[in-house]
Structure formats: C-alpha cells, structure tokens
Amino acid sequence: MRVRWATLVASALIVLAGGGPAAAREDAIRPLSSFPRERLAIETRGARRHLFEAWRADTTETRAQGLMFVRELPAYRAMIFVYQSEQFVGMWMKNTLIPLDMLFVDDTGCIVNVHEQARPGSLEPIQSMVPVVLVVELAGGTAKALGISAGDRASRPDAAWPASAAPCTPPR
C-alpha cells in the first residue's frame, strides 16, 4: 500500500512540475522532416492560385504537436491538420513561437473561416465555428498578403481532394 501511495505522489509531483508524459517539451517533439509532406493549393475568388508545400498532421500525436517550437515558417510552407470526418475543431497556440493564420476548411474544400495572426503562446481557443475536415496553418500575415478569405477553396492535389469542385460561397 505504501509503495502505491508513494508512486501516486511521485507521479503527481512529476505532472505538477510539467515533466509528465503529456507535457510538451521541445526535446520530445518530432522533427518536421518526419511528417508526411504534400502540396496544398489555395484558389481565391479573385482567380489566383497559391501553391504551398505542406507538412501533414493526420494522427492524434502529429495534430497535438503541429508547429510547436518552430521558430520560423517560410513563405509558401504550411501545416495541414487532416480529420477523417467533419467535426468542430478548436486550436490553441501553446508552445507555438510564431504568429499563424488558420484556415478552417469544410469537406468540399471551401474555406469557411479564417483566423488571422493567432498570438504565439496563447491558450485562448480558436474555433472552427462549423464542422471542418481540414485546418491549414500559414505564417501570420499570409492570408491578408495573398487575399485569402472565407469562400475561397483549398485542395490537396496529391490526395486528389476534394472529390468535387462545387463552388464555394462566402459567408454573409
């Protein structure tokens, strides 16, 4: 009984100190080079097409890590968070060192919400507002600089996604 109690107390102290298995530490982060990569295209209603080289986060572990501890995100680089089915998604910026723009994308490839300049380190939830299957993270300021907004289209050419190209309509 004493051994179990001691183990429980030691485990609690480790978690409280931030050293537990769930604690995100820079030394426990997978290098981005180990994430799968693919092309991402964003087509604006102004008939512009922007191509990005994207890292793909499509598992619980890779989605939890995302761009944590990354110190810079070059132009035309992105992180995409892929979900198997549409769902409400909430993101935060814990352990994220750079500002990011987040594009929330539905199952038809339409960008339904854009959150610009997410603040590094913030624990404030950033919500999709509607169910989505994809979240795209770009360097902060990219959406404004390229004129990307809700109603534009995202596609993953290497994954032949989305299957149909129904027109996107901007929110009212």
Q: What is the SS3 assignment for the chain?
A: CHHHHHHHHHHHHHHHCCCCCCCCCHHHCCCHHHCCEEEEEEECCCCCEEEEEEEEECCHHHHHHCCCCCCCCCCCEEEEEEEEEEECCEECCCCCCCCEEEEEECCCCEEEEEEEEECCCCCCCEECCCCEEEEEEEECCHHHHHCCCCCCEEEEHHHCECCCCCCCCCCC
Whether residue 85 is contained in a domain is answered as yes
For the segment 43-82, what is each residue's pLDDT rounded down to a tens digit?
A: 999 889 999 999 999 999 999 999 999 999 999 999 999 9
Whether residue 169 is contained in a domain is answered as no
| Global pTM value | 0.83
Whether residue 11 is contained in a domain is answered as no
Whether residue 121 is contained in a domain is answered as yes
Residue-level pLDDT at 26: 64
Low-confidence ranges of the chain (pLDDT < 50): 1-23
Residue-level pLDDT at 3: 37
Residue-level pLDDT at 117: 98
Number of structural domains in the chain: 1
Residue-level pLDDT at 8: 35
Residue-level pLDDT at 7: 35
Domain extent, residue 64, equals 24-159
Whether residue 4 is contained in a domain is answered as no
Residue-level pLDDT at 2: 39
Whether residue 7 is contained in a domain is answered as no
Residue-level pLDDT at 28: 76
Whether residue 111 is contained in a domain is answered as yes
Residue-level pLDDT at 81: 98
Residue-level pLDDT at 119: 98
Give me the CATH number covering residue 61: 2.60.120.1140
